[in-house]
Structure 1
Amino acid sequence: MSRSFAVLTVLLAALSGATSAQAQSAEVGGTWLTQAGDARVKVSKCGGGICGVIVWLKEPYDTATGKPATDSKNPNPALAKRSMIGLPLFSGMQPSGPNKWSGQIYNADDGNTYASSVTVAGPETLRVEGCVGALCGGETWTRAGR
């Protein structure tokens, strides 16, 4: 009887370890490298959902002016002067399924905000998708560090 109990204890410990590994693999927090490799975004939990902020750029300076890159494509003149480093990308990202959040994403390439979802696809992979009407697209980000 004690041998059965020992086997059961080992089996339960192995299963709880697998559950912990799955929970860790689903961790959204950390720094992620965009698919193009041109930016790193720090994702953290905030307000019951997640936030994402640009923390690194491959080209942090405007090539024309030599000054730090700004959100120049933003249609709002006041926002167009803000620095790209520290720029918030996600808004209203709330849980919408296992390892998934939905809300809006800001695209600094065109100055527009789109309906979006962010899904942890694996321990080192984040799927970021955005839609305009029926047209959707996305990219896969990789973990750059914790």
Structure 2
Amino acid sequence: MKLLSALTIGLGLFSTTVFAANDVVGIWETVEGKSHVEISKCQTDKYCGKITWLKEPNNDKGQPKTDINNQDVKLRERKILGIELLSGLEKVGANEWDDGDIYNPEDGNTYSSEMSLLDDNTLEVKGCVLFICKTQVWKRIK
């Protein structure tokens, strides 16, 4: 009986470790190293990501970059650093998340989003309008 209990606990720890190794939670470097995005669970079953670092955090006047391209005029003064870039992504498969949104501060638009973990250190992120998607590959920051 003790052996069975120990085996059950050991398998439980092993499966947790395997899941954690394949989890999307962490800090990711976006294309061309422009920014770092920290992805975390933001609700019971949803994932979000916010910008935690910018390669070029300041504008040409030396001030922190703001969300000047946002479609909502009221949000144009908010700082890019700290913006929630990803929102509402739901885990739909072993290494897949869907039904979320991604905000692009470069054009001020929000797109439907999905992402797939290609391996422990490579994340494919898609932003889509209807059936037209743009795909980026992000690398995990260790």
The alignment's TM-score, normalised by the length of structure 2, stands at 0.83
Aligned positions of 1:6-17 closer than 5 A:
none
1:79 equivalent in structure 2: 75
Aligned positions of 1:108-123 closer than 5 A:
108-123=105-120
Change in 2 beyond 3 A, CA 1:122/1:25:
farther
Question: Which stretches in structure 1 are left out of the alignment for 5+ residues?
Answer: 1-14
Instruction: Find runs of 4+ consecutive structure 1 residues off by over 3 angstroms.
Output: 15-22
Root mean square deviation of aligned Cα: 2.2
How far is the alpha carbon of 1:99 from its aligned partner? Answer: 2.0
Question: Which stretches in structure 2 are left out of the alignment for 5+ residues?
Answer: 1-10
2:5 equivalent in structure 1: none
Fraction of identical pairs, as percent: 39
2:63 equivalent in structure 1: 67
How far is the alpha carbon of 1:136 from its aligned partner? Answer: 1.1
Please state if 1:29 is matched with 2:25. Answer: yes
Q: Report the Cα distance in structure 2 between the residues aligned to 1:121 and 1:137, rounded to whole angstroms.
A: 17
Q: Report the Cα distance in structure 2 between the residues aligned to 1:27 and 1:76, rounded to whole angstroms.
A: 33
**Which of 1 and 2 has greater Rg?**
1
Q: Report the Cα distance in structure 1 between the residues aligned to 2:76 and 2:94, rounded to whole angstroms.
A: 35
Please state if 1:126 is matched with 2:102. Answer: no
The alignment's TM-score, normalised by the length of structure 1, stands at 0.81
How far is the alpha carbon of 1:22 from its aligned partner? Answer: 3.6
